[in-house]
Amino acid sequence: MKFLKTILLFLLTANLYAQIRFEEGYIVDNNNQKLEVLIKNIDWLNNPKTIEYKLSDTTSVVIGNINQIKEFGINNQSKYVRADVNIDRSSEDLNNISSSEEPDFKGEKLFLKVLIEAEASLYVYNDHNLKRFFYKNKGGNIEQLVYKKYETSTNQYAYNKTYKGQIAQNFRCQNISNERIRKINYRDIDLVLLFIEINECKGSEITYNEDVQSKKVDFNLWIRPRLNSSKLDFKRDSESVKFGNKSGFAFGIETEFVLPFNKKKWSLIVEPTYQSYKVNGTKVGNVDRANVDYKNIEIPFGVRHYFFLNQKSKIFVNVQYMINLNLDSNIEFKRGEYSYWDYEINNRGNLVAGIGYNYKDKFNVELRYLTNRKLLDELNINTKYSTVSFVLGYNIF
């Protein structure tokens, strides 16, 4: 528990004192004046309503809102434009899904992220579980590409895919077939590639192109040997047995999915690991002996958060829940050669927390704490099994 408190304290301290990173960019104000500024880049998952920026390294932070800024961008990374649009916010949540096929448009002022800027322009708006794409043809207005899930009168689900007809009607080009448009899905990569083709077909210069492929989920596969220090305390009525600390090696393979937002500071991790803990001959009273033979597959899964130190180094913390798969394990009490109690160990899970260091996304080291776990289901027996691990990691993929 102390280790968990340390992790939480580290998270609070790191967030409080973490270096705020402002990167070179620009804003365009309501007078169409373009200012070179430094913008706080948090790699927005959802389209922002405000941004923080500075005129220089030495000036104070200014908060700019959508009523003050017409456009802003971070050099070579992202670009947003303000637009008054009609947007359909119909939910796809099955408890709130609409029974109407028609979009429910409402006028809003939004910052839209630019995906393609050319004669045929493409934009996207994200707001948690809502994603909507928008388009503009030449000097026309920005309009939503319509896609809506709805419930039919027969309690089935159907989709309004008007966006395909909108593209076919507004961006006709000899080299873009109806079959090509028909196969387009309502997602970033499909629409970006299609709009690139449309502009190439029209001979239109693309002045901005968001690299959506760089926004994919990154995959890492880590080989992770470790040194475990484990202990087990057993208490039944007035009888108490401390099996003591036992060190041993274990081996795990961690799969990490690095999420493509917030500067790739977050990842999902899962790490099947084989470990064992075996102690024989622990004295119980004057004549009895206790043995524990515990072998299991640990499967911790959870989240990891990175704190960047520089381009090569970063610190990380993990919080995970661990599933335990027992491999024919037991706690046995013997008098001489006679076994008078033999308890089968359960598969109960527990929480895991860790703090570590990553170098060049190739090597890492971690100190990990596995919280106390009750190994037996007996009502009158209390067991506490805990482990501290020192883990080394090497990224093979």
| CB neighbour list of residue 184: distance below 8 Å, 6 or more residues apart | 163, 164, 167, 190, 191, 194
Q: Report the length, in residues, of the chain.
A: 397
Tens of pLDDT along 199-241?
999 888 888 777 665 567 889 999 999 999 999 998 887 778 8
For the chain, the average pLDDT equals 88
Tens of pLDDT along 106-130?
999 999 999 999 999 999 999 988 9
pLDDT for the residue 159 = 94
Cβ proximity of 229 and 367 under 8 Å = no
Tens of pLDDT along 42-91?
888 899 999 999 998 889 999 999 999 999 999 888 999 999 999 999 98
What are the backbone dihedrals phi and psi of residue 170, each rounded to the nearest 5 degrees, phi first?
Answer: -90, -20
- Closest to 110 (Cα-Cα) out of 67, 77, 163: 67
DSSP-derived pairing of the beta strands 105-117 and 120-127: antiparallel
pLDDT for the residue 337 = 75
Q: CB neighbours (10 Å) of residue 383? A: 23
Amino acid at 280: N
Report the alpha-carbon distance of residue 165 to residue 20 in Å, rounded.
45
Q: How confident is the model at residue 285 (pLDDT cuts 50, 70, 90)?
A: low
Report the alpha-carbon distance of residue 298 to residue 352 in Å, rounded.
11
Q: CB neighbours (10 Å) of residue 257? A: 15
Cβ proximity of 326 and 346 under 8 Å = yes
- Model's pTM, two decimal places? 0.71
Q: With the CA atoms of 127, 128, 131 and 135 taken in that order, what torsion angle do they form, in degrees rounded to the nearest 10?
A: 20
Structure tokens at 85: 């649009």
Q: At which residue do the structure tokens 């968001």 appear?
A: 210
Tens of pLDDT along 299-318?
999 999 999 888 899 999 99
